[in-house]
Amino acid sequence: MPSILITGASSGLGAEMARQFAARGYDLALCARRLERLEELRAEIGAAHPQVRVEVRALDVNDHDAVFSTFEELASTLGRLDRIVVNAGLGKGAPLGTGRFDANLETAMTNFVGALAQTEAAMTVFRAQEAGHLVMVSSMSAMRGMPKTMTTYAATKAGVAHLAEGIRTELAGRPLGRTVKVSVLYPGYIASEMNDGVEGSTPLMVSTEKGVRAMVSAIEKEVADACVPSLPWSVLAPVMKHAPLPLFKRLI
């Protein structure tokens, strides 16, 4: 069976990815801070798909040494890791200069530095295996600098996309580039714990199940990048990038 490691797997998009990949026959390596939630998810998946192996590990992605040791240990335990999904993240934030540097710093450290550690650890595994698929979960907010509480979050999501794209550029034309694939996903509004407060304010929100189905499909196709779900986000992406600032502010 193919194997996949997913961080931030205790809830939201990560947990639903675990369910959907289990249904496709993947062995799972699930990591998150809340081990009790992972244990509940393992029991749920085990009941629905008893043939699937599910390994769970408590992991705070801000403990960088633990990221490396956990990824290495899970690769050894499962025999290999075919895919690694860098998904763990925070949505905290405040307008810059309003006295909440603590919230912005926590988001920056988790979403970018924590993702950097995960990416380094993943590529260490893939270079040793000479194969693998790195999946970076970015955000549609990475398309453009965002205002207010979203400023730092959007910047971190642009940063992680560039990490992945930099690796793809490095591997292009090299033998390893044929066996190590890199994908960046840009989710739009998908219902999850992180955006509970947004759900009632936008008609563009889709259910967790539907949104993750689009993510899983893109991952299995090993696309270089994908706005998910494709409609309306693949259409809105160039508008978000290039609209004049006054129009962009009205859109968001």
Backbone angles phi, psi at 206, to 5 degrees: -115, 165
Choosing from 26, 153, 186, 189, which is the catalytic residue? 153
DSSP state string for 129-177: HT-EEEEEE--GGGGS---GGGHHHHHHHHHHHHHHHHHHHHHTTSGGG
- For the chain, what percentages of helix, strand and coil (3-state, to nearest 5) are there? 55, 15, 30
Pull the structure tokens for residue 133: 């698929």
189 is catalytic: no
Q: What gap in Å lies between CA 139 and CA 45, rounded to an integer?
A: 27
DSSP state string for 180-243: EEEEEEEE-SB-SGGGTTTGGG-TT-B-HHHHHHHHHHHHHHT-SEEEESHHHHHHHHHHHHHS
| 172 CB neighbour count, 10 Å cutoff | 9
User: In 46-143, which ranges are E strands?
Assistant: 54-58, 83-86, 132-137
Burial 90-110 (b: 16+ CB within 10 A, else e): bbbbbeeeeebeebbebbbeb
Active site amino acids: 153
